[in-house]
Amino acid sequence: MAIRPERSLRGEAVATSRINLRDCFTEFTLSSMSRFFASLRMTEGEGFAMTLRVRLLRRFAPRKDTWRDFFRDLVPIILFSLLLVGCLPESEKEKPKGAEMKIYIIPIGDVEKDNLLRLSWALREQFEAAFEIGEPLPLSEYAYRAERRQYFATPILEELKQNIPEDAEKVLGVLDVDIFVPTLNFIFGQADLDGRVALVSLTRLREEFYGNSKNEKLFIERAAKEAVHELGHTFGLRHCLNLKCVMRFSNSLSDTDIKGVNFCEDCKRKLR
């Protein structure tokens, strides 16, 4: 075996692989490989690194007449790698292990900061996530329908989707205007099922809206229930028949008042 010691380590590895290592690797036992590395004036670690490199060269370096073999070897490896990536759960692919999920609360138009803070405290009780109040978004006037004196929720939700902060897992948009979707007189909120965005409106959760006297505690309780409900949808939860479950559909404010702020055991299981 012709080894030229004056060559660099890299030069030797490449050169020897071209000259005669192809046969060497089939013949060498581990101990004879150690002697071989010594003769190259390499440490055993360097030698093994070189072995791997040469093995890869042997395996993958195409010769003129073996392009078909080369691709035949490569395709199953690529397919296997894709299969492995495909088998990883979504959470493994998207975020590093141990990283805490971040959910943004984004005011759309004028929303009192105090209400946002109290909402974020209530949400922390229900979700294992870090809540952060994000930069406010303007309320788009093109979503306003003068004939109904309400805002059409769907385009607002779409706009929110275009403004998801980079590090956000989910975003909850909070409005203090009356919102609707065409088939209903009004809605308390809207969400993308199993998506990343949800909306909640505070307007109809105040006692004053119905001509009653102010009840701040009740207002925040309602806001928390509706916010938890809409975010629950983004985690894939559908409406629940349990009267006390926060995922029960609220057709009116009395439904909101009857249900609790917590997920029932069934919904909790699905949430995990």
Options 103, 156, 200, 245; binder of Zn ion; rule CB under 5 A: 245
Task: State yes or no: is 230 an active-site residue.
Answer: yes
> How many Cβ atoms are within 10 Å of 117's Cβ, its own excluded?
13
By CB under 5 A, residue 242 contacts Zn ion: yes
By CB under 5 A, residue 264 contacts Zn ion: yes
> What residues are paired with 152 via a beta bridge?
180
Stretch that binds Zn ion, among 40-48, 117-125, 134-142, 242-250 (CB under 5 A): 242-250
Q: What is the closest distance, in whole angstroms, from the C-beta atom of residue 174 to Zn ion in the complex?
A: 16
Residue number with CB closer to Zn ion (51 or 256): 256
Restricted to residues 97-116, the positions that interact with Zn ion (CB under 5 A) are: none
> What residues are paired with 47 via a beta bridge?
none
Residue number with CB closer to Zn ion (114 or 265): 265
- Catalytic residue, chosen from 125, 208, 230, 265, is 230
Report the alpha-carbon distance of residue 219 to residue 115 in Å, rounded: 10
Token couple for 175 = 């409005």
Q: What is the closest distance, in whole angstroms, from the C-beta atom of residue 266 to Zn ion in the complex?
A: 5
Which helix (DSSP H) or strand (DSSP E) does residue 189 occupy?
strand 189-191
Using CB under 5 A as the binding criterion, the count of chain residues that bind Zn ion stands at 6
The pattern of x and - marking residues 181 through 220 that bind Zn ion according to CB under 5 A reads ----------------------------------------
Cα R_g (the chain), whole angstroms: 31
Say if CB 186 and CB 180 are below 8 A apart: yes
177 closest CA partner among 216, 218, 138, 211: 138
Report the alpha-carbon distance of residue 58 to residue 266 in Å, rounded: 56
Residue number with CB closer to Zn ion (134 or 189): 189
Residue number with CB closer to Zn ion (220 or 231): 231
Q: What is the closest distance, in whole angstroms, from the C-beta atom of residue 49 to Zn ion in the complex?
A: 57
Which helix (DSSP H) or strand (DSSP E) does residue 107 occupy?
strand 102-108
Stretch that binds Zn ion, among 4-12, 88-96, 205-213, 238-246 (CB under 5 A): 238-246
Q: What is the closest distance, in whole angstroms, from the C-beta atom of residue 125 to Zn ion in the complex?
A: 16
In one-letter notation, the amino acid at residue 255 is D
Q: What is the closest distance, in whole angstroms, from the C-beta atom of residue 201 to Zn ion in the complex?
A: 13
Options 143, 247, 253, 261; binder of Zn ion; rule CB under 5 A: 247
For residue 132, count CB atoms less than 10 angstroms from its CB and return exposed for 0-12, middle for 13-18, buried for 19 or more. middle
Say if CB 22 and CB 45 are below 8 A apart: no
Could you list the active site residues? 230
Q: Where along the sequence are the contacts to Zn ion (CB under 5 A)?
A: 240, 242, 245, 247, 264, 267
